[in-house]
Chains A and B, each alone.
Chain A
Amino acid sequence: MATVALDRKNSKKLTAALLRLGRVRGPVKDETGVVLGDLTSKSDPVLEYQNFTLPAKREFFPQCEAVAKFEGDNVREAADGDRAAVVFGIRPCDALALSHVERVFCDEKYADPYFRGRRDAALVISLACDKAGPSCFCTSAGGGPASAKGADILSSNIGTALLFDSVTAKGESFLKKNKGLFRKPTAAELTKREKQAADVSRRMKAVDTAAAVKSLAAGRPAAFWEGISETCLSCGACTFLCPTCHCFDLRDDIGTGARLRVHDACMFATFVTEASGHNPRARKGERMRQRVMHKFSYAPENYDTVFCVGCGRCVEACPSNIDIRETLAGVTE
């Protein structure tokens, strides 16, 4: 299906069409900046922002959710949480990350019913980037400012208008059903979109991810990992903000009788500590190795792609200024 356009002045009509599908998550302003929140009929979606501080995975894999309930000695599955019908405005890096997490959560043997349910319920409309942040490197991590993978529809903000391309059948169906909203884009608008994406790509510093993946396949000595993790505080900020990190713990909440799934992090000291007290990754260097190897060696081996989308959140959030781009450059030295 060809690209369609919507004048910015009509963006509230788009919101209305989306709201007819159900609950809409989209870019809204709060006291912290632009965040992914509930869009209402009154909201005119904010379209000027670099990226959300929190990754979009949280819409599909919440930080805490019940996967089972127990009453006395009976256990049953938990009711489905509040599902979004639309997730609009996530950046292409977060959409790509969503496709990575989906491959883990919904493999050939076990489909995670909670992730599957939320992803199937939602129409994901990503928004191409019109500028590059100082830590962005998506073009070196399998994506790009206008990468469509993981979304149902890719939208682009070219100032006076929004352009839309369907990526999946679900996306195409929405655009077709609402064709009255859209018009044909002009040749100038399409050119502007191309130029915008090319400009953003150009402003990003390239990282030689392929060389790093190749080098890591042979492993790196313990001293290397000890070195790069020396200043690490084991705070886990990098993992909680990472759109592809999907580690979790399951624990019983006695108060509510729920078996909860909560985000967890391989950077925490006791992440793999066993009941006996044995900790296979007792050293910070071993935990750093796990994080870097998982993303840039094990994922390429198991999924044929790095589990990093170059969003740069870990770079910006690290209190010790550990920069994954420098780590990747370091492994090939």
Chain B
Amino acid sequence: MSRTANPYVPYKVRIEKVTVENDERDLKTFRLAFCDPSDGAAFSHRCGQFAMLHVPGAGEIPIGIASSPLDKGYVEFTVKRYPTGSVTTALHDLSDGDTIGLRGPLGNGFPLDALKGKNLLVVGGGFAFTTLRAAIRYLLHDSVRKDYGDITIIYGARSPGELLYKQELAEWQKRSDVQTHITVDKGDASWKGREGFVPAVVSQVAPSPANAHCIVCGPPIMLKFTMPPLLTLGFAPEAIITSQERRMSCGIGKCGRCNIGPKYVCKDGPVFTYAQMMEMEKRGE
């Protein structure tokens, strides 16, 4: 039986580069390269998909893919370390040259092909910004940008030091073909940017819902308070696209762990519209 026929066996990947993203030093971006180049050629993902990262001896975790499909030769994942998370802790202890396992890509991803010609509002909060970063890198690529209308980014973090991908954020802010609004809950002495929570910034920036879709990812509390302003602006629940997280074991719809109502986050998601989310949750989840 070939490995591809066995969905439980990971690809072997090497850590090429580890970037510490925040002041707390609990968010790191791992750049991974496939040890067998043919595995890399077989691995073709869409923005918004995830993969299982396997640290031998510690276990596996589902993590959203943070790099764009157009970033060739590597795949990136930004992982938050939790003191209570044995796999995230083990992964954070690794460094350049170490090898781990990778299964995927898994899940559906953002429907970017179907959104061609649309204006896009991308709203992110905290470290849920990772798959949005994949989407933004893709959308702003020279070969792709012309396929979409206006692009507006709203991204918030607790403090300036907790913002991910700081260098890229600065580059996006310089571009004229994308409106980038960065906000922090509370700034510090050197912070000259916006202060305030993401939902309030959405109302202030007030992008038009005309011919537009919104992709929004963030912690549950942010999502809860961002939906009302989006609806008030006129975005339909079908035009609000979000991504869900749940604990997973298999990632392929069998282990029975990650469902929200009748849908499995791993195989039916992780990307759902807000309209779908409301339908899934109506039976109590």
A interface residues, Cβ below 8 angstroms from B: 67-68, 70, 73-77, 104-105, 107, 109-113, 216-220, 222, 225, 245-252, 254, 259, 261, 264, 266, 271-277, 280, 286, 289-290, 293-294, 297-298, 301-302
- Nearest chain B CB to A43 CB, angstrom units: 33
Q: Contact at A249–B255, with CB atoms within 8 Å?
A: yes
Take A75-B101, A77-B1 as given contacts and tell me if A293 and B8 are in contact as well, using a CB distance cutoff of 8 Å.
Answer: no
- Determine whether the beta carbon of A297 is less than 8 Å from that of B9: no
Interchain nearest-CB distance for B13 vs A (Å): 10
A113 touches B259 (CB 8 A): no
Which 7 pairs from chain A and chain B are nearest by CB?
A: A275-B85, A247-B256, A219-B283, A298-B262, A67-B8, A73-B99, A275-B82
CB <8 Å contact, B246 and A275: no
B224 located at the interface, meaning its Cβ lies under 8 Å from any Cβ of chain A in the complex: no
Contact of A77 among B3, B87, B282 (CB under 8 A): B3
Q: Which residue of A lies closest to B106 (CB)?
A: A110
The 8 Å CB contact of B84, one of A217, A222, A259, A276, is: A276
Having A67-B6, A75-B101, one finds 15 other A-B pairs with CB under 8 Å, namely A70-B57, A75-B56, A109-B252, A113-B1, A113-B6, A216-B283, A225-B284, A246-B254, A248-B254, A248-B256, A250-B60, A261-B8, A264-B255, A266-B257, A275-B87
A293 touches B283 (CB 8 A): yes
Across the A-B interface, how many residue pairs have beta carbons closer than 8 Å?
Answer: 130
B58 within 8 A of A: yes
Chain A contact residues: helix, strand, loop or mixed: mixed
Count class of interface residues, chain B: 35 or more
Which chain B residue lies CB-closest to A71? B56
A264 to B250: give the CA distance in the assembly, Å.
12
Q: In the assembly, what is the distance between CA of A328 and CA of B6, in Å? A: 38
Q: Is the CB of A248 within 8 A of B12?
A: no
- Give which listed residue, A112, A220, A273, contacts B254 with CB less than 8 A: A112
Q: How far is the CA of A76 from the CA of B284 in the complex (A)?
A: 40
A158 to B245, CA, bound (A): 54
Cβ B8 vs Cβ A252 within 8 A: no
Which residue in chain A gives the minimum CB-CB distance to B245? A274
Quick check: is B59 within 8 A (CB to CB) of the other chain?
yes
Q: Say which residue of A68, A222, A251, A298 sits within 8 Å of B9 (CB atoms).
A: A68
A266 to B259, CA, bound (A): 11
Hey, what's the 0/1 contact readout for B35-75 against A, CB within 8 Å counting as 1?
00000000000000000001011111100000000000000
B 1-38 binary contact with A (CB < 8 Å = 1; else 0)? 10101111110100000000000000000000000000
Cβ A222 vs Cβ B256 within 8 A: no
Give the chain B neighbours of A246 by CB distance below 8 A. Answer: 254, 256
Let me know if A297 and B60 touch, CB within 8 A: no
Q: Which residue of B lies closest to A245 (CB)?
A: B256
Which residues of chain B from 66 to 102 have any CB-CB distance to chain A below 8 Å in the complex? 80, 82, 84-85, 87-88, 99-101
Given A259-B8, A297-B262: A219 touches B282 (CB 8 Å cut-off): yes
Knowing A216-B283, A276-B85, A293-B283, say if A104 contacts B253 (CB, 8 Å): yes
Residues of B within 8 A of A216 (CB): 283
Q: Kindly state whether residue B247 has any CB partner on chain A within 8 Å.
A: yes
Q: Is there an interface contact between A250 and B59, defined as CB atoms closer than 8 Å?
A: yes
Specify which chain B residues have a CB less than 8 angstroms from the CB of A76 in the assembled complex: 3, 9
